[in-house]
Amino acid sequence: MTPTRKLAFFILFTLVLSVFWMPQVNGLAAQDTIVIIANKNLPLNELTHTDLQNIFLGKQVHWNNGERIEFVVLDKSGQTGNIHESFTRNYLRKSASQYLNYWKKMVFTGKGNPPKSFNNENGLVDYVGSTKGSIGYISSQTAQGDAENVKIIRVVQ
């Protein structure tokens, strides 16, 4: 075996071995910690899981009344990271990293712009309340507070 091949096998062996010392991905967060909110003027009160997937993957671009959908998300990192991860896993069936990669693919092929993101829930609530056709999500704890101009959307199967 040549020195190059020995080195390559050593690196690959170390790489494979190293995974056993790595922390595992966190388990799924509880689905009931997430609440879907929308601008209060939106003429609907419930959506299906599939509707949410199509909206947050940018596949469905208009509401049934023809209004453009403005969907917003929380930041993947920082204090909103857990809420975002819980939303993407439970409602989009993707990890936050897979969701990020999906939008990178859209951006670098020119097929879409990623959703506006917020580093705190209050900022997202204010935006949804003041923007026509908008939809987002927050934690159930935040949803306990008073929020004008937004309504909670029920998610059905």
Contacts with other proteins, residue ranges (CB under 8 A): 2, 4-5, 8-9, 11-12, 15-16, 18-19, 22-25, 48, 50-51, 54, 59-62, 68, 76-77, 93-95, 97-98, 100-101, 104-105, 107-114
Nearer to other proteins, 109 or 144 (CB): 109
Strand order in 134-139's β-sheet? 46-48, 150-156, 34-39, 134-139, 70-74, 116-118
CB of 37 to other proteins, least distance (A): 22
Q: By CB neighbour count within 10 A (0-12 exposed, 13-18 middle, 19+ buried), where does 49 fall? A: middle
Q: What is the DSSP letter of 110?
A: T
* Cα–Cα–Cα angle for 75, 77, 80, rounded to 5 degrees: 60
Nearer to other proteins, 66 or 144 (CB): 66
CB of 51 to other proteins, least distance (A): 8
Q: Which residues pair with 136 in a beta bridge?
A: 37
Nearer to other proteins, 44 or 142 (CB): 44
Nearer to other proteins, 35 or 69 (CB): 69
